[in-house]
Amino acid sequence: AGVVLGPSLLSRIQRVKDFFIQASAAKYYQFFSFVCRMLFMFSIGLETDVPYLRRNIRVVSIVAGGGSILACLFGGPFFWLLIKVFNVTKERFAFYLLTLTVLANSASPIVIRMIAETKFDTADLGRMAIYSSLVNEMSCVTIVSTLKAFSSSGRFGGAILITLVTVAVIFVNKYLSYFFNKRNQNNRFVSNKEIFVIMFLLTCLALYAEWVGYTAIFCCFLVGLMFPREGKTARTLLHKLTYSVNTFILPVYFGYTGFQLDISNIFNKLTLALTVLMILVSVGTRIVGTLAACHYLMIPWNESVILSLLLCLKGNYDLILINTNPNPNMVWAADLHDFLLTVVVLNTLIIGPVAAILLNREESSAQYPTILEILNPESELRILACVYVPRHVSGHVSLISALGGCPTAPIKPYMVHLVELPKKRKSKLMYHQLEDGDQYSDEEEYGGNDVLEINDALDAFISETKILVHQSKIVASFLTINEDVCNGAEDLRVCIIFLPFHKHQRIDGKMENSMEEIRAINQKVLRHAPCSVGIFVDRGQTGFQQPHGSQCVQNIAILFFGGPDDREALACSKRILMHSKVNLTVIRFLHKTTACRSSNSWINDASQKDEEVIMAISNIGTENEIDNAFVETFYN
């Protein structure tokens, strides 16, 4: 859209050009792009999966560095060619840094957005691409900023001040988050005024970094990365930033990137040849280097190709350097600026659609083991816990605590609040009559005070155990809510869904029916779920308690009768067994030989008499062999 509106097409019309390209438009567009960069880099840092990045920092660093190192090696000879063609006589070192950055950099916002649009953000391939691009771009920013800092004493002092201010903002945000969470204990979200305070500090930091002569990308990302994840403050920031960044800020920023392209600048034969050559060098070195790194890491070939193409996308930090003067007394030559800008934009316009097509066709790479029986006990366990009311939360967080008790076996829990969609209602208040922090959409009111109690319980759990639980809410009719649960489990690629039992225990110990609708929903999810499903029966204080922070060891028994369902339950208990405060006992029930024979003869007799067999039981001998092998593996 930006290319269509820009000087390449529609802005050639005089009226359109007068509207978009005015005398003061350049500064306005630059300031707006600065605000967009500040917000989406802070949002990216806030949404970064720190445990995953910590576990896979070696892998993503090798993938990110493979193509960049090769690009830098081939960038040297190409740099001298550009110097001769464009007659660069001053600031050659700055131009060398610019050339290497254009060749080696990957635009993390574009990669993240493309991965999210194709629903690969929960797949291992998508996450590896996201964090490889982040490591690549942040490394480029750090290296260029460090070289700038040591170029003069004044810039070195500015870099030290930016570092100190960034650290100060991180610590201030930590205490502000704690203070705002405590101040808004009875509210779902913090107020707009309190969010403004955090955004004001972030803006001051970004403006100071830009004023000193550095980019604010790394500062904003670092502030978001170090922001406390638990509590209402982080929840409010994610709630307000996610929608605005994804639907408005990033599209407009990408549109402005394409708007800067003027295709007429490459009509010269020499410029066109250099443009094609530089795109080939950039893409070729990135693909070859990334494929070599993936081969070293033994990543499948199809995933390696997609990774290499995704890391070829450009259009963030490299554009900042292209549009920045190397010093106040010098401006890049117009032809050199237009050439590099054309290379960056055309590179993304060519590679982006190819990568998107391959992502949409690569369904096998997005799959994740949905059977616990074949899942490596030390690999990441993804679970989806469903709750209807606050009393369901305590049991589910206890289960999450038990499953996430081993540091070497990571867990990624999701908790979804299932809310029945009420009849359509219309607010009688105008927008300006709403209280501060309220939303005009009635959807935010669904769930009543249950949302507040659930959030408080999860915040307390996250603060105590440091296990981050990702929250979401499904508002739908109980007749179709099972479809949303199954679709959510498929998108999140979870291994198991935990559903609450339709009965709860009273004070006298008897089980009372909560809602008959829950029973029907559980049955539908059991039939149509893309993964394993567990029905969680919570006994309250007399049942399973949270192991984290407990001094006593809890005894858990697994009743193993045999068959695929019991093997799945036993596989799930492997994670619970890894917790230091859990003592697990497996009780196995075996069939008698006579019972097995009578069961087989019953099926054979029914078949001979042409009677209908509703379910043909598989060979029990084979099932016993599978059970014996699995139990033996479990014991070992």
Q: Tell me the domains of the chain and their CATH numbers.
A: 2-366 (1.20.1530.20), 372-423+448-552 (3.40.50.620)
Tokens coding 629? 């092998």
Between 592 and 467, the more confident residue is: 467
Strands (E), 347-380: none
Tokens coding 530? 């893309």
The angle at the Cα of 178, spanning 176 to 183, to the nearest 5 degrees, equals: 90
In angstroms, what CA-CA distances link 617 with 529, 597, 599, 604?
Answer: 22, 13, 9, 11
Q: Could you read off the pLDDT of 527-551 as tens digits, one per residue? A: 999 999 999 988 766 566 666 666 7
**Alpha carbon distance 479, 543 (integer Å):** 31
At 499, which helix (H) or strand (E)?
A: strand 496-500
Q: Binning pLDDT at 50, 70 and 90, where does residue 329 land?
A: very low
Phi, psi for residue 184 in degrees, rounded to 5: -115, 45
Pair 121, 130: CB distance under 8 Å: yes
Q: What's the whole-number mean pLDDT along residues 373-396? A: 88
Phi, psi for residue 476 in degrees, rounded to 5: -160, 165
Tokens coding 122? 């929960």
In angstroms, what CA-CA distances link 403 with 4, 76, 390, 627?
Answer: 52, 52, 21, 23
As a whole-number percent, the residues of the chain with pLDDT over 90 amount to 31
Q: Could you read off the pLDDT of 4-36 as tens digits, one per residue? A: 888 888 888 888 888 888 777 778 888 888 899
**Alpha carbon distance 77, 60 (integer Å):** 28
Q: 144-158, 169-183, 296-310, 563-577: which range is least confident on average? A: 144-158
Q: Write down the pLDDT at residue 425.
A: 54
Q: What's the whole-number mean pLDDT along residues 141-167? A: 87
**Alpha carbon distance 260, 256 (integer Å):** 6
Pair 260, 6: CB distance under 8 Å: yes
Q: Could you read off the pLDDT of 603-618 as tens digits, one per residue? A: 444 444 455 544 445 5
Q: What's the whole-number mean pLDDT along residues 218-227? A: 94
Sequence-distant (6+) residues with CB within 8 A of 246 are 113, 116
Q: Write down the pLDDT at residue 603.
A: 43
Q: Is the pLDDT of residue 363 over 50?
A: yes
Q: Write down the pLDDT at residue 546.
A: 66
Tokens coding 554? 């809890």
**Alpha carbon distance 568, 586 (integer Å):** 13
Sequence-distant (6+) residues with CB within 8 A of 209 are 162, 215, 216, 219
Q: Is the pLDDT of residue 249 over 60?
A: yes
Q: 174-183, 270-279, 426-435, 463-472: which range is least confident on average? A: 426-435
Q: What's the whole-number mean pLDDT along residues 392-402? A: 88
What SS3 string covers 36-66?
A: HHHHHHHHHHHHCCHHHHHHCHHHHHHHHHH
Phi, psi for residue 532 in degrees, rounded to 5: -70, 155
As a whole-number percent, the residues of the chain with pLDDT over 70 amount to 87
Phi, psi for residue 273 in degrees, rounded to 5: -65, -40
DSSP assignments along 515-575, one per residue:
-HHHHHHHHHHHHH-SSEEEEE---GGGS----TT-SSPEEEEEEE--SHHHHHHHHHHHH
Between 65 and 408, the more confident residue is: 65
Q: Write down the pLDDT at residue 522.
A: 93
Which amino acid does the sequence have at 357? I
Q: Is the pLDDT of residue 423 over 70?
A: no
Q: Could you read off the pLDDT of 198-211 as tens digits, one per residue? A: 999 999 999 999 89
> Rounded to two decimals, what is the model's pTM?
0.85
**Alpha carbon distance 439, 427 (integer Å):** 11
Q: Is the pLDDT of residue 320 over 80?
A: yes
Q: Write down the pLDDT at residue 85.
A: 81
Helix crossing, 25-47 with 232-244: angle to 10°? 130
First to last CA, the chain: 60
User: Rg of the chain's alpha carbons, rounded to an integer?
Assistant: 29
Q: What's the whole-number mean pLDDT along residues 478-506? A: 90
Q: Write down the pLDDT at residue 409.
A: 81
Q: Write down the pLDDT at residue 599.
A: 45
- CA torsion sign, 481 to 487 to 493 to 496? positive
Pair 496, 504: CB distance under 8 Å: no
Q: Write down the pLDDT at residue 607.
A: 45
**Alpha carbon distance 99, 190 (integer Å):** 45
**Alpha carbon distance 342, 319 (integer Å):** 10
Helices (H), 297-333: 301-310, 317-322
Among 258-262, 375-379, 497-501, which range has the highest average pLDDT? 497-501
